[in-house]
Structure 1
Amino acid sequence: MVQESGDGEKRSQGLSNSGFEWRSPRLLVCSILLVLLLFYYIDYTQFSEKWATTISLVLTETFTSQTTNTSLALGRLSTPPGPYYVAYPHKYEFVLNEPEKCKQENPFVVLIVPVAPGNAAFRDAIRSTWGTEKLVEDKVVSLLFLLGLPCPKEQENLQESLLQESEKYHDILQSDFLDSYHNLTIKTMVMLEWLTAYCQNASYAMKVDSDVFLNVKRLVNMLLSAPKENYMTGLVTRGGMVMRDPRSKWYLPKQVFAPARYPPYTLGLAYVFSLDLPAKLVEAARHVKAVYIEDVYLGLCMKHLGISVTNPSEGGLFNVYPVQYNRCRYSKLITTTTRSLRGQIRSWKDLQTPGSPC
């Protein structure tokens, strides 16, 4: 220890004897000028962005597609601004994209299914059932699945599988946010951004959960006479109570949202909207702080825009509780939640059998 102290003193003395003592006025002035010169040449914006990326964002590994030989850097997971808010607005990038989908297919309605990266069984079930309905009443229907990033523990193997799935089906959109329940609002806003950027030629879009049975024919039939602008419908909730119990899955404290009731909104399990709305909602999101309850948040953005959600043209079209299968009943509804993936497949196949359903 004494020897180390002595060495330290010798090193200090060596620096002083070599002319590097900070008490030299000439050296002090030169150092200040050097620092100022560095600040002059450094792009402060880029420096800040790199610093934020290093501190706030999680960089994940790079995966390479063998068919395209393109390195996909997975991405940047923004730090949430709090337990009841999400990191939006934020510049999220697409890891997997289908930018020509709408140009090539020219759809009347685009179906977008938010689904977890690991839920390949649900994607396959939809591709083999209502996702096969591409032309209804001479109207083109397009299907896309929307994913975030898998959790870091399963990322490498799962991401390679997703790349292969994307190359096979060309129906996957994946953005560089962490796919989680808390980030559903981010997922929804990324969907709206994609529609704004790549799908302006469609008339309508529908967000539909992966565990929902969808009657595509009934949906298209309803949309043939639907408004072309400022239109959003589904299972509309009016006067919804704000959950103040901290144990609730949808808890929001008063300091986050003071009113006791929410403005009208469509339940997130399935809603359809005209394609003028995505750009308007993305703009509204710049002025409305993003809470984690995604369907409520869209309702808040609609209120900011002064646009009312629309009640369905008929009762019973959208159902939050599972409707027991009946061929006649299912031919008249648009969506219902289902109790099992197997039941969803069985119901759709039975509904396709020839003959009148009622």
Structure 2
Amino acid sequence: MLRLSPGSEKRLWKRVRLSLCFLGLSLLMGTLTFAVYSCSSLTSWPLPGWTVMPLSIPPYKKPTPAPITQEPSGISSPQLPLPQSSFFVAYPHRYHFIVDEPNRCDQESPFLVVIVPVPPHNRDVRNIIRSTWGKHTTVLGQVVSYYFLLGLSSVGDGRQHPEEQILLESQKHHDILQSDFQDSYKNLTIKTMLMFEWISTHCPNTSYAMKIDSDIFFNVHNLVRMLLKAPRHLYMTGLVVRNAQVLRDPNSKWFVPSAVFPESTYPPYPMGLGYVFSLDLPRRILEVSTHIRAIYIEDVHVGLCMRHLGIALTDPPRGGLFVAAMPQTTSQCYWVSVITTMLWRSEQLLDVWKTYENQTQSDC
């Protein structure tokens, strides 16, 4: 047997111990590497019996910018598809007048043109107006012309024709303007914008125009008296509504969601029961209307157009001239002191008119 010297044997054991330490360290490093690799590979290499839920990270998408608002109109352009489309009307659009008085306004050159939006079937209401305030065609030496603005009773197949009854009424009174849009509450903005279109193209020598609802008492004498002292340019007045809250209740008749109009209050607007304006405004309003989506609340839309133009509405010279609702009781001289008052129903105008005529004969 080979025997080593004490010094050689000592060196040999030292090498063996070093080899064993190196081997143990290698095994430890291999175990750690295997563990790390296994943990990093679980999603593609799960152990038997494990359910591995992959980490779901959505791909990056560029943020969608907020809807652009027409400044200073405040009407947003809703994203497509349009769940809010019912809050807007089809305007601008090329509508046509199927019943018209193309030359009358130019020939008469009235001081004041009065436009009354009314549904086609309300012939009785038109006759009531013709027999009351609509019969005053010369007031304080000024010519006043009246027209009724109608849409269609229903949408046909693209061959809309006026009803025979409307044609006969037009031939008799020469005061009917009918266009080829569906006449409905939701389309009052269309009717109002068509009023601006017709006046701007047919009444070149007129100073003022008025839009007035059919269920309104109208003292045209007081209006003409006021207008004789009023500005002739960039002028609109009536019952001016300021700081009106936008109604967010879906059950409201005038509900408007924030996606359609993000502001909490509307800009000043003339209440639609009756407002008057100088004849330099219709063309300006029509020009800016191409930049503002037409909301279905017609008087609010007029206010938005005026704000876009930067033209302030004018309050009447005194309060109580334009009244939003008929009071429960009226004073002895009430009807001769106002310009407009909304009645409870259109047929009430006949009785109110008799009271007004009596008051004009009294000491009021």
CA contact (8 A) 1:327 1:357 kept: no
**TM-score using structure 2 length:** 0.73
| Residue of 179, 183, 202 corresponding to 2:183 | 179
User: Which stretches in structure 2 are left out of the alignment for 5+ residues?
Assistant: 1-82
Give 1:160 shift.
1.2
The 3 A distance-change label for structure 1 pair 109 and 83 is same
CA contact (8 A) 1:351 1:357 kept: no
**TM-score using structure 1 length:** 0.75
The 3 A distance-change label for structure 1 pair 185 and 341 is closer
Give 1:81 shift.
8.6
| Residue of 159, 162, 167 corresponding to 2:166 | 162
Where do residues 334-353 of structure 1 align in structure 2 (5 Å cutoff)? 334-353=339-358
**Aligned pair 1:198/2:205, yes or no?**
no
CA distance in 1, matches of 2:202, 2:194: 12
**Aligned pair 1:293/2:313, yes or no?**
no
CA distance in 2, matches of 1:123, 1:161: 13
Where do residues 1-358 of structure 1 align in structure 2 (5 Å cutoff)? 82-152=85-155, 159-323=163-327, 324-353=329-358, 355-358=361-364
Residue 336 of structure 2 aligns to a residue whose secondary structure is helix
- Greater radius of gyration (CA): 2
The 3 A distance-change label for structure 1 pair 109 and 157 is closer
Give 1:343 shift.
2.6
Residue identity matched to 1:133: H
Identity, in percent, stands at 52
How many pairs were matched up?
A: 278
- RMSD (Å), alpha carbons: 1.9
CA distance in 2, matches of 1:327, 1:169: 34
Q: Which moved more, 1:325-334 or 1:96-105?
A: 325-334
User: Which stretches in structure 1 are left out of the alignment for 5+ residues?
Assistant: 1-79
Residue 308 of structure 2 aligns to a residue whose secondary structure is helix
CA contact (8 A) 1:118 1:158 kept: no
Residue identity matched to 1:222: M
CA contact (8 A) 2:272 2:299 kept: yes
The 3 A distance-change label for structure 1 pair 146 and 317 is same
The structure where helix makes up a greater share of residues is: 1
CA distance in 2, matches of 1:228, 1:263: 23
